[in-house]
Amino acid sequence: MAVILPKQIGAPEGELLFRTSDKITDLKEAVKIVNALKETLDYYGGVGLAAPQIGISKKVFIVHLQPTKDDSDLPDVRWKEYINPEILDVSSENNVYAEGCLSVFYATLYGEVIRPNFLKIKYLDINGKEHIDDIYHPFHTRVVLHENDHLNGKVFLQQMKPDDFARLHWEKDLDIRNKSKME
């Protein structure tokens, strides 16, 4: 598979973003999907990507976090795949942070979303091995929940409080369609 421009809400091909995805039953299929997700995320940037965003209605997403000097407490989670994930528990403690999405106006629209600080998740890796992870970093938790929402037919806008829509902000310089022009 090649790099795929993420499907967009409001476009006919974006309807898949509002449907519940099917479980993965074939690990060979999962490998192909994960590779396409990696290639697409590597090209467009971002910290996570789910199969529905590239037009595949399957329960798989990837996360790619790299610590920087400015965020040295961020866990190093490079190209981690979550196949058939199941959120087992979330903390009652929450945080608020602006989220964007490669599938929402080409990553240009950002809004505040309340998310739990911690979570417990069960999933399969690319080899079919089951894992149960406790994720304690609030941003890592946010990314996992954001991507998992895609598998359940939701985008971050649906997680926002109605009052917070007045504070949506536009970052037109981040438009992923300009990616090729920036290289």
In tens, the pLDDT along 148-162 reads: 999 999 999 999 999
* Chain segment 32-84, per-residue pLDDT in tens: 999 999 999 999 999 999 999 999 999 999 999 998 878 778 899 999 999 99
Residues belonging to the active site? 147
Residue 182: per-residue pLDDT: 47
pLDDT over 80 at 180, yes or no:
no
What is the chain's mean pLDDT, rounded?
94
CA 130 to chain centre: 20
Q: Which CATH superfamily is domain 12-182 in?
A: Peptide deformylase (3.90.45.10)
Distance of alpha carbon 136 from alpha carbon 98, whole angstroms: 19
Position 181 pLDDT exceeds 60: no
Q: Considering only CA atoms, which of 134, 146, 126, 130 is closest in space to residue 33?
A: 126
The DSSP letter of residue 85 is: E
According to the 3-state scheme, what is the secondary structure of 22-60? ECCCCHHHHHHHHHHHHHHHHHHCCCEEEHHHHCCCECE
Structure pTM? 0.95
Please give the structure tokens belonging to residue 140: 């890592």
Residue corresponding to tokens 């967009």? 8
Give residue for tokens 């961020």: 74
